[in-house]
Structure 1
Amino acid sequence: MTTTRSPRAFVAASDIVRIALGWGAFGILLLAHPLLAAPVPAPVLVVALVVIVAVILVCAFGVVKQAEALAHRLGDPYGSLVLTLSIVLIEVVLISAVMLGPGEHPTIARDSVMAVSMIILNLVIGLALLMGGIRHRGMAHNRTGTSAYLAMLVVLVAVAFGFPVLIGQDGAYTAAQAIPVVILTLVLYGLFLFRQMGAQASDFTEVDERVRIERATDPHASAHSIRDTLRTHRTEVVVRLALLVVTVIPIVLLSHDMAALLDDGLGRLGAPPALAGVLIAAIVFLPESITAIRAALGGEVQRVVNLCHGALVSTVGLTIPAVLVIGAATGKGVILAETPADLLLLGGTLLLSVATFAARRVTAMHGGAHLALFAVYLIVLFS
């Protein structure tokens, strides 16, 4: 039986304020574009960046609020998947828009996914395991589901960034190679989503008894199937999903609009240009990062896995086909081949991830190893 609660019951005044703040800041930024054209006076640049980051942080906590409510209502993997796909789909659309716009951006997909990979697999997972491991000593995860994520990542990353080095031309797939790569990537990603949301959904749920007991006593937790939950709590799910999407869009738009400001500021400081991409990627995935760390502190390590690994599987699985199709349709080059240093970092990160999550319980030491590898990435970035 569907609940009859009004949609207003799930919308707080703070939700409206966050949405208005995010979209209002984006509107002001659009109007102020002529004033923010490089070179921007240093005081104006600093104030603009501080204001944008502050607005993003306020909106991020609104996204986290809705994501956690959906996760408790829908359960994993569905709750984590909602937040992951919301952010990733918007990111893919924006990358595609940049490619379709004026100018040549042949490496935007490669550089974006590399930054996201290092941030998610090493920085976010490292912090989550370190903080969660210190609080809970060790946390048990669902090794079958985690193994499925890592299996997808090994194949997707190798096909996307490794093989163009060996068989591509000038770092890009030829037209004859791009077509089967697009088909292979989409089929593999589609199979993964189909199984994750269907027959193998239980492989992506928590296995720690402490978490199970807490969930059993949670008044917001649902013991029904996903279909029963959607039928019974349809209004709440739709309203919270709409609030999440409407709140997360300004975060992504603002983070991409501040790219020019970051490029200008970092250029004056002599920082490497790629650092701007890293900072933007970190801001785009800020809601997921906050959610993952909070989940780790609560002992929900499988939710950390679902958020982080799921985000990267979706990023690679959707971005690569999108940019290859756009490249083929417009004749624009799409360079996917990574540098030797970045290939070593990607390979080392995947190997470390396999070693970390092969253990029955992940600990703070695993988190420290991932953070160390992220530090190596920063060293390479500044070299």
Structure 2
Amino acid sequence: MVARGRTCERSLNILFVINDLYTRGNGLASSARRTITLLRERGHRVRVLSAPPRDGDDCGVGVPEYPLPPMSVPVVGSLIASQGYAFARMRRTQVKRALQWADVVHLEEPFYLQAVVAELARRAGVPALATYHIHPENLTASIYLDRARLLNRMILELWKRAIFNRCSLVQCPSQSVWDRLEPLALRPPLLLLSNGVPLGEGGDGADARGDEGDSSVVCILAVGRFSREKDQATILRALCYSSYARSIELTLAGRGPTERALRAQASALLSDGVITRPVRFAFMSAQELAREASRCDLYVHAARIEVEGLSALEVLRHGAVPVIARGPLTATSQFALSEDSMYEAGDARALARAIDRWVERGRQARVSEGARYRVLGEQYDIRACVDRLEDVYVRLVSADVSHG
């Protein structure tokens, strides 16, 4: 299969460095796998420095050429695993082998592995690009310290010194990330470039909304890992303030450490009579998600900490109308086409008002609005994003990007 993007004239040896390339349900790993696949289709030699798949599932990208043993983390190991993640143990001999082969290095995370690789790559004269995939608050939210500003600033400063300043370029997947990093005065230049999404079939315009069942039912879908920063709890709280709560059928698609608490919250809403239909919890395949997106009336993205939020586009290309949280640490509101599709992150009453507005406008208004979102993903076509990434790799190898 040949990627539909253009072909780079120069074939490169590209090393991707990521602790766990093979975890499913994690946007960072999924994005890396898509990029690796496209680069290989375009003739580049891409190898991976990562822990191997734990269950034998290589997710279609093959096992790592430079495998690292998985690392057991005391005390918080179960919490890390519940987030669908794992860390790899450092092996300097393996890192040096990989760097001897590589023309350019792509660092996918801001952890110890990447800090060591960044320093060894600098010494070896191998250019490295780092992608800002994670806010400090993505980590500290799990231990209820995401609002500890001093701690999060210290983590960001550590990443700056240990990783970003040792690289030749730092990729910012969204304007929100750029705005956060620009005041830090990093040594390398910043590159504003989305991670991109594949432009799968978004439907032919046919709409399953209201074709079957009770047309008075309002189907709402939310997609994302069950965790504090994704804030599904605010969606459930919003039902207490919605005038149409008893008509709402809510589906929460995902899995993660807060699932038990969310289920208890949803059960209380049902037993108290706030809602009449049980909240549905499901972890969906791509095909199942596409079917659900095609039938839902509204898509709610409540995350208050989000670097880019491309998962929203996977739903919006099917014509769903979004209601998206807006805040200083979430970039996903960049996809909203009107103020009516945004609310302030964490504000359950504001979310309920936004939901009610779209319910009151009726099905036809939602279908018309949803049509505007079907083509939104074209601005984030992963093939175009990889086109630019190829150019960056070539410039780095050719030393055409200035850096300190």
Q: Higher RCO, 1 or 2 (CA under 8 Å, sep at least 6)?
A: 1
TM-score normalised by the chain length of structure 1: 0.29
Give the number of the structure whose residues are more often strand, by fraction.
2
Give the number of the structure whose residues are more often helix, by fraction.
1
